[in-house]
Structures are given as C-alpha cells and as structure tokens.
Structure 1
Amino acid sequence: MRRSLASAALLLPLALLLTACGGASSASTGTDGGTDGKGSVTLNVGDQKGGSEAILRAAGELDHLNYKIKWSTFTSGPPLLEAVNAKAVDVGGVGNTPPVFAAGAGSGISVVAAWHGTSKGDTILVPNGSKFTQTSQLKGRSVAVAQGSSAHYQLVASLKAAGLSLSDVKVKYLQPADALAAFTSGKVDAWAVWDPYTSQVLQAKQGRVLTTGDGITNGLTFQVAAPAALKDAKKAAAIKDYLDRLRRATAWVYDHQEEWAKVWAKDTRLPYEVALASVRRTNATRVAVAVDQPLIASEQKIADAFTELKLIPRKVDFGEFVDRRYNGNLPASTSAPHASS
C-alpha cells in the first residue's frame, strides 16, 4: 500500500472518504436506515464518512437521547447542503467553503455552530522530485483541486499571498480520487487538498508539502441547519442537545487521539498510521467557537473572493446565513488557538 498510492485498493477508501471540508460533487447520497435514541422527535442529520456519527459514537455521546437521530451519509459538503436546502436534512457538518457557494445560490441554510483548528492539514502538495520550493513557482503550472471545496479557497488565498491569481495557473478541477491518480502519475504539477489526503501522501512518501493553509485560511468547520427545523421548537431543542454532544465529542478527541484514530480508520478503511497522522495534524486541534461577527467577516472574505472570480453569481451577505442562538458561553472565534482571518 505504501508503494502505490494509486492502487485500486487505496483509491476506494479515498473515493468514499470526504471529510467535512468536502468538495463539489454530483455523487449520489446514501441514507442509513437505523436511528439512535427514542421519543417523538426525529432529527435528520447529514454526515460524511468518518464524520459526526463516528466521533459521537466513539465518545459515547449517543447514549440516552430523548429524540431520534436518522443519519444520512453524503459524499461531500455541497450535496449535503443541497439536502438542507430541500429540508431533507435538519442539520449537518461541512467545511468553510461549501456554505459560501450555497449562500451564493440563495439556498435556505443557517450556520449554527463552528469549530476552529489549524489549517496545517490543508496543503498544496508537489511530487518528491519537483523542483518547486515556493508557491510563486506554480505560475503557468497545472494544479488539481476539488471545485467548491475548502482547498479551492486555500489555493486562491495561497496564490494571492505569493503575488499570483487563479488565472496564473492551470486549474484542473478533480475530485480527490481522480486528483490522487493524476498527482501520482505526474499529470499535474501540484495538488491542493486537505487531510486525511495530505497525511496519506506524506505517509506513503509520494509527495511533500509546498505550502499549508496555516495563517492563510480560517481553519473553520461548521454545522449548518435548515431554517424550517430552527422554526420548529422541538427540533430546535434537539439541535441544541445534538450540538452540545458534538462539542463534547470533539473535545474528547484531544485526550483520546489513538483511540479515535482506530475508530476513524475502521470507519473509513484508511490505514491506522494515516488516520493517526491526520488526527494529530488536524482533528485534535479543533475547538468549538461562537458564530460571531469576526467569523462572519472571515467567511465574507471567502465569499467576496469567489464573487470577484465570478465563480459565485451574486454578491453574498454571509451574515444573512447564520443563526447565533446556540453560541452560549463559547469563546470568540478570534480567541481560539491558531485563529486566523
């Protein structure tokens, strides 16, 4: 497996695993038949492989629910948000960029919770034999990235920091499994991607990091709810309890990194060493923060960047797509470790 990242056996888990950062995808969704909990209220939760359900179950936070959770698994953030807009999902987790594209499309979504971590797992990778040592050298070169993903914005921001624009490189819009194949076969010069793909390439010694998103992107992930669910008093109460449990489970990871990596590896079929590297680099850094004005301003920068590139059809006021009712006593988004704009 370490000798050949592009093998069919490895491409399968890569195709299945799209983290909360997920990219644009037209892939179909799968709905699990079972439910957790009991009671008259059913909360329809959108998830991604190895995501919220896995971490909640590992942390023991799905016990003693007085409402039911019906899980639906999506390949990535954009189709999950399409389901939120269609009222098929009440709440679900995504990265920092899919909500911007959903807002640009005028979708019915509300960001209700946020986590902040480092962006060290968000990288631009180059092959080991590449002569490139800085981002500015990518001018005129081909870069693979998943359209609409957090890596898409990371690429835009990293190029800008190096004095370049998106038009200065040859962008190849590829989903991770296809991008991996293109990267390892030398068909692209670089790959903008997120963990666990970063850890997968590094652990297999198939590439190295040219630059990371640390200090460049905001390191945010979100839970996004359907406005209709928030207007339903019983579902709104269930969402509050669900978010409280998810915050505790995320904090649990910090002191149980090896235990969580074992669960995550089993759930995603990734090698344990890759899962553990990703947990240590990315997952264990996440801290729950308030959905506040600095957070809105940070997301507004992403929206404005994509509007300027004409990848979003209209001006977006991101503040119209948040709901702060679940902030409680959470720290400000700017006070979290490694906070960035």
Structure 2
Amino acid sequence: MRPARLLPAALLLTLLLTACGATSSASTATDGTGSLTLDVGDQKGGSEAVLRAAGELKNLDYKIKWSTFTSGPPLLEAVDAGAVDIGAVGNTPPVFAAGAGSKITVVAAWHGSSEGEAVLVPNGSKLTKSRDLKGKSIAVAQGSSAHYQLIASLEAAGLTPADVQVKYLQPADALAAFTSGKVDAWAVWDPYTSQVLEAKKGRVLTTGQGVVNGLSFQVAAPAALKDTKKAAAIEDYLARLRRAQDWVYTHQADWATVWAKDTGLPYDVALASVRRTHSTRIAVAVDRPLIASEQKIADTFTALKLIPAKVDFADFVDTRFNADLPASTTPAR
C-alpha cells in the first residue's frame, strides 16, 4: 500500500480539533418536530457527521442548528456568549475557558485512548526517549490538549518546559516546520499523528497514554441548562451521541469512510485515526476523579502563568446527566 500523502496546509487549517483557532465558519440545520431549536457547536467531521452516520438524527422532537468551528476555544467563546447551547471539545480548552471566567458547564464526558496524543520525531532523528528532548525544539499548539500532554510527558521524564525550546505553532505551521527540520519534535493529536505515521514522515517518541486523562467533553451554556425544555433536549442529544459512539466502535471502517469524506482526509489516515483514537472512547460520568484530573491540568497551566489565576474546576461542571454511566477512570476500549 502506498504511504498516505501529507495534507496541504489549507486543509490542515480546517481540522484544528482542539487547539486555538478562528471563529464559526458555517451553519447548517437538522429538521425535527416541535418549535424548540438546540444550537449546537460542532467541528468538521464531528458530532453532526457521526450522529448522521449512526442514524441518530431521526425522529427528533426538536430542531438542531449546527455551527461549525475550527477548534475548541472559539466554540467555547460562542457558548460563553450564549450563541451556542452545547458543543464538543477536548480536555484542555475548558480549563482555559474556566480560567478566563467564561460561562461554561461540562455536562458529559468520554474517555478514550491517548495513543493519538503523541510527540513525534522525524524518521532520522537520534532521539529515542523523552529524556532526549532536553535542549531540543518542540512545536505545539498553545492551549491544546497536546500542550498539556507535552508538559506531562516532560514531567514524566524528569524535565520541565524550561528544559526544552517550546515553539508555539498551529498544526499547519508545525507540519511545515517538522517536515523541513526546523523543529526537533512535534507534540500533536490525531488525525495529525496518524497522518504523519501513515505518510511515513516520522515516528512516535512518546504518547500521552498513562500521562494524560484521555477525556473529551460536551460543554453547555448555563442559560440553556436553566431552560427546562432545552435541558430536556440536551439530555436527549447526549443519549444520541453516546449511542453514536457505540456505533463507531462496531463500524470502524464505515465511520472512517464518512469521516474521510467529511474532512477530506485520505481514507488510510482516517481509518488509522479511528482505530487508534475514535473507536476507543466510552461515555463516562462527570465525577470527582474527572474534576480532580481537570483540576491538575488547570493548576499546571496556572503555575506556568498561562492561566492568570487559580481555577476551581468543580464550579464548571453539572452532574445531572450522569445517569448510570461508569466512572471517568474506566479504561478506554
């Protein structure tokens, strides 16, 4: 099989799944019965795509207005502004939003493998372990899940960010720097990890497995949660998302086909990313261990002065939708 080609920078910019990025880029609608409209923040190849592929957008008794964002931070800005009722993000954007005093509430969580969260090095690199990163330059998107994964991986190796040269670059710029040899390593997430590996342009030095929490979230606007009818729609929406994720686990190739078409990813890259990351996720409770894990992330960024003041993450969660879900510490699939 021929190695997958690396995506052009323009396409990479549309796939910023958890780092900083631009504002809402598109809006679509899903028809349902009833007069209520749920405003949902989405990312390309995200919730709308997986719900549609799994057949979970049928028989809605409310309408959904989808707004597509390039990443988590601008999506959470829209939640804070009340323009979006709920949306999906990774484990780090809510910490920065909470640090900024945003009006956000984590209402649902998924736990997945952190194998896709990786520090990559070029194939010819002499680096063989995390400790070898001392004094080296590393590209990472500031405030992304990969940013925390890098810090945690350095800590596990007995290093701090001061021991390396951190280069804050968004994925498109980081890819160019990585492939041209301008940085020694790249801390990134799937599908970029799968893209580099499938194209045989690099190898994994270390992953986030065992050092980061592997969580992703649905985050709602407090005003929407106070609205009885919208809260009921959110509960139904979350149930559909959980069923859709179960569908991904049993239909990996089918989801890879849909995801590749929706994002423009090569199929081989999409399938590798689905197997490594997407299909591993299970719905878990928003519980005390989850809050403690996110609090650790917040405290880390506060200590680095990247968040201006201490964050009490417990103030930004709502446990009403936990139902009988397993603990957040339940192993990923």
Query: When the two structures are superposed, what TM-score results if normalisation uses the length of structure 1?
Result: 0.95
Matched residue, 1:271: 266
Q: Are 1:24 and 2:20 an aligned pair?
A: yes
In the alignment, residue 259 of structure 1 is paired with which amino acid? Answer: D
Q: Are 1:62 and 2:60 an aligned pair?
A: no
Q: Are 1:259 and 2:248 an aligned pair?
A: no
Distance verdict in 2 for CA 1:3–1:244, change over 3 Å: closer
- Equivalent position SS for 1:83: helix
Which of 226, 230, 238 is matched with 1:231 structurally?
226
Matched residue, 2:331: 336
Q: Is the 8 A contact 1:32 1:71 kept in 2?
A: yes
Structure 1 unpaired stretches of 5+: none
Q: CA deviation at 1:30?
A: 1.5
Q: CA deviation at 1:18?
A: 2.3
Which of 307, 313, 331 is matched with 1:312 structurally?
307
Q: Are 1:166 and 2:164 an aligned pair?
A: no
Q: Give, in whole Å, the separation in 1 of the partners of 2:297 and 2:324.
A: 27
Matched residue, 2:113: 118
Greater shift, 284-293 or 31-40, is seen at 31-40
Q: Give, in whole Å, the separation in 2 of the partners of 1:95 and 1:196.
A: 14
Q: Give, in whole Å, the separation in 2 of the partners of 1:124 and 1:116.
A: 20
Q: CA deviation at 1:334?
A: 1.6
Q: Is the 8 A contact 1:289 1:336 kept in 2?
A: no
Q: CA deviation at 1:29?
A: 1.5
In the alignment, residue 15 of structure 2 is paired with which amino acid? Answer: L
Q: Are 1:106 and 2:101 an aligned pair?
A: yes
- Equivalent position SS for 2:233: helix
Q: Deviations over 1:269-291 (max 9, x none)?
A: 00000000000000000000000
Q: Is the 8 A contact 2:27 2:66 kept in 1?
A: yes
- Equivalent position SS for 2:120: strand
What is the aligned-residue identity percentage? 73
Aligned counterparts, 1:1-341, within 5 A: 2=3, 5=6, 10-19=8-17, 22-25=18-21, 27-337=22-332
Query: When the two structures are superposed, what TM-score results if normalisation uses the length of structure 2?
Result: 0.97
In the alignment, residue 19 of structure 2 is paired with which amino acid? Answer: G
Q: Deviations over 1:295-322 (max 9, x none)?
A: 0001011001001101000000000000
Q: Is the 8 A contact 2:137 2:185 kept in 1?
A: yes
Q: Give, in whole Å, the separation in 2 of the partners of 1:307 and 1:226.
A: 24
Q: Is the 8 A contact 2:4 2:269 kept in 1?
A: no
Q: Give, in whole Å, the separation in 2 of the partners of 1:275 and 1:10.
A: 16
Moved over 4 A (4+): 1-4
* Cα root mean square deviation, aligned: 1.2
Q: Give, in whole Å, the separation in 2 of the partners of 1:323 and 1:281.
A: 30
In the alignment, residue 178 of structure 2 is paired with which amino acid? Answer: F
Q: Give, in whole Å, the separation in 2 of the partners of 1:43 and 1:220.
A: 24
Q: Is the 8 A contact 2:29 2:66 kept in 1?
A: yes
- Equivalent position SS for 2:257: helix
Q: Deviations over 1:250-284 (max 9, x none)?
A: 11101100000000000000000000000000000
In the alignment, residue 10 of structure 1 is paired with which amino acid? Answer: P
Q: Deviations over 1:112-135 (max 9, x none)?
A: 000001100000000000000011
Q: CA deviation at 1:136?
A: 1.1
Q: CA deviation at 1:167?
A: 1.3
Q: Is the 8 A contact 2:29 2:63 kept in 1?
A: no
Q: CA deviation at 1:4?
A: 5.6
- Equivalent position SS for 1:333: coil
Q: CA deviation at 1:335?
A: 2.4
In the alignment, residue 302 of structure 1 is paired with which amino acid? Answer: I
In the alignment, residue 330 of structure 1 is paired with which amino acid? Answer: L
Q: CA deviation at 1:38?
A: 2.5
